[in-house]
Amino acid sequence: MSPPEFETVPFAEALLRGAKKHPDRDCIVVGDDRVTYGALEARARLVGRSLIALGIERGDRVGILMANGLDFTDLLFGASLIGAIPVLYNARFKAREIAHVTADAGIKVVVTNDVVEQHTDYVELLNKAEVQKAPSMQNQIFLGTGLRDGFMDRDTFYDLADSVDPSVVEERHEGTVVTDTALMFYTSGTTAMPKGCPLDHIVLQHAGVVGGKDRLQLIEGDVVWNPLPMFHSAFTQPLTGTLHFGGTLISMAHFEPSEALDLIARERVTVAFPAFPTITLQLLHHPRYHPDAFSDVRVMLNVGPAEELVAMQALMPHTTQITCFGMSECGGSVAMCHPSDPLVMRSECSGKALPGVEIAVRDPETGKPLANGEPGEIVARGRGVFSGYYNDPAKTKAAFWEGGWFRTGDLGVLDAEGRVTFRGRLKDMLKVGGENVAAIEIEGYLALHPAVNLAQVVGLPNEKYGEVPVAFIELVPGVTATEAEIIDFCRGEIASFKIPRCVRFVNDWPMGATKILKHELRDRILIEMAPT
C-alpha cells in the first residue's frame, strides 16, 4: 500500500499557507457573509490569543455549539492554531446529550451563539445541561447579540486577546505535530450515549485531500458548495480538501432550496458536496430548477440508493455524480467512485478505497476474510482510519480486528477490482436524515418513563429522512400510557431526529433463542404502514 502523494501538515497550516499565497481570495462564504484567507487567519489568531488568555493549554478541549456561520470557523481554526482540541457538539443534541459530551470530553471552554432555526436556544440548552457544573468547565462564551447570565460576551472575549503576545500563538502552532489530536466528534454508536471520536491531523485531512485530488479532482480556485452542518464530518471533509487546494468553500446557515439555487449560481460553484438525497432532491424538484442550473458544476457527491442516484444523475446533464462510503471515524470517506466510472458503477457501488487506505470484507462473527462477492462486514485500515474511541478502551478493542482493521459495522461486498458495495448496517443502528442513531440510546431513554417496562426501537423507511425511529413498548403491568404521552416524554430531552415517529404497544415479543427478533418488529410496522 503506497502512501498518498501529499504532505500532511497540521490542520490550521493549510489556512496559513493559503493566506500567504492568496490572502485576498475568498476562503469561506456562508450565505451573504464571506471571509478571505487573510482575514480568516487574522480572526483565527485573535481567537487563539483570547483562548490562551483564558488559560487554554495544548490538548485542552474547546467545545463549539453553534449553527453554521463564520463564528464557527473562527473558533475551529483559532482553537486548532494553538494546539487545543475543538469538540464539535452536534447542534441537534438536547440537554442530556450535551451534558454527557461536556463531561466525557472534559471540555474547559464552551462557545455558543444566538437562537437559530426551530427556536433552538443554545444558552438555554447549556444551562439545562448544567455544563457549568462539569468538573472540567472553566468558561462559557456567548458570541451572540447582547448579554447572557453566566456567559462571557463577545467583546469581553475578544478583548482578552490584547493581553497575549501574538508570538505565543506562533509558538503553539509550531509545536503541533500531525499525530496530535486535531478535533473530536461525538457520534452515536451501539452504546447508550454518543461516543468520542478523536481524529489526528492525518485522519482529519485524508479523505478531504486524497479524496479531493483523486476522486473529486479538486484544483486551485475551485468553488465547493457544502450546505451540511459544520459539526459533521461531511463538512470537515470537503473543508480540508478545499483549503488544501486553495479553493473557496460555500456554506449555508441552514439549507433552503431556493436560496441554495441562488447561491450556486451567484458563486459559480464548480464542485458540490450535498451528500444526502434529502438535500439534492429538493433542488432538482424545485419549480425554479432547470438543467442549466448546475452548468458550472463538474462533480457532485451524493449517497443513496442506486435507483435514486440514477434518477438524480438524469436531471443533471452537465454534472458527473459520484458516491462514497465512510463514517466519522475515518474523517468522512474511505471509498469513493471516480468520475470516469460508468454510471452503473457510480450508482450501484461506492468505488474503490482511497489511496492510503485498505478495505476488506470479513465474517462479522469470526473475523475471517471473505472472498470477493461474499457479503460480510466492511473493514478498513490505513492513514484515513482513526485509532480508537476517546476514554473507552473497551469500545476501542471491540471496534478493531487484529492488524488494525476497523470494524465499520456495515454489511457489504467487494468485487474483483476492489470496489465496495454497501448492503446495509450490521449494527443495530438507524440512519435518520444522515445522522447515525443507536436504537439502544432511544430505548434507554424510553426506559426512564415510569410506565415503560421494555422498549425496542426499529427503523421505518421514510422518503424524506431515509429512516425514522418507531418504538415498540411493553408497559408495566397495570399501568397505562398513550402514544402521545410517550412522544411528549421525549420532546426537549433527546434530539428531535431520535424521537419515535410512532409508538406501538405490545404484550409479547417475537423471540429467538435469547433475543427479541427486531426484524419481525420491523416487518410488523412495514405491513401496517403499507399503502392499501
For the chain, where do the domains classified as CATH 2.30.38.10 start and end?
323-425
Architecture of the domain made up of 430-529: 2-Layer Sandwich (3.30)
pLDDT in tens, 405-426: 999 998 899 999 999 998 877 7
Whether 136 shows a pLDDT value over 70: the answer reads yes
User: Looking at 201-246, which runs of residues are DSSP E strands?
Assistant: 223-225
The CA-based diameter of the chain, rounded to the nearest angstrom, is 72
Q: Which residues of 37-50 are buried (b: 16+ CB within 10 A; e: fewer)?
A: bbbbbebbbbbbbb
Strands 139-142 and 85-88: unpaired
Helix and strand numbers (H, E) in the chain are 17, 27
Q: What is the DSSP string of 275-342?
A: ESHHHHHHHHTSTT--GGGGTT--EEEE-S-HHHHHHHHHT-TT-EEE-EEEEGGGTEEEEE--TTS-
Amino acid 4: pLDDT: 47
d(CA 386, CA 104): 18
For the chain, where do the domains classified as CATH 3.40.50.980 start and end?
11-23+34-200
CATH superfamily of 323-425: Luciferase; Domain 3 (2.30.38.10)
CATH class of 11-23+34-200: alpha beta
Calculate mean pLDDT across residues 221-243: 97
Confidence at 513, pLDDT banded by 50, 70, 90: very low
Over pLDDT 90: what percentage of the chain? 80
DSSP assignment letter at 486: H
pLDDT in tens, 297-350: 999 999 987 888 998 999 999 999 999 999 999 999 999 999 999 999 999 999
d(CA 509, CA 521): 8
Calculate mean pLDDT across residues 273-299: 93
Confirm if 251 and 231 have CB atoms less than 8 A apart.
Answer: no
Confidence at 190, pLDDT banded by 50, 70, 90: very low
pTM above 0.85, yes or no: yes
Over pLDDT 70: what percentage of the chain? 96
For the chain, where do the domains classified as CATH 3.30.300.30 start and end?
430-529
Amino acid 2: pLDDT: 37
Calculate mean pLDDT across residues 10-23: 97
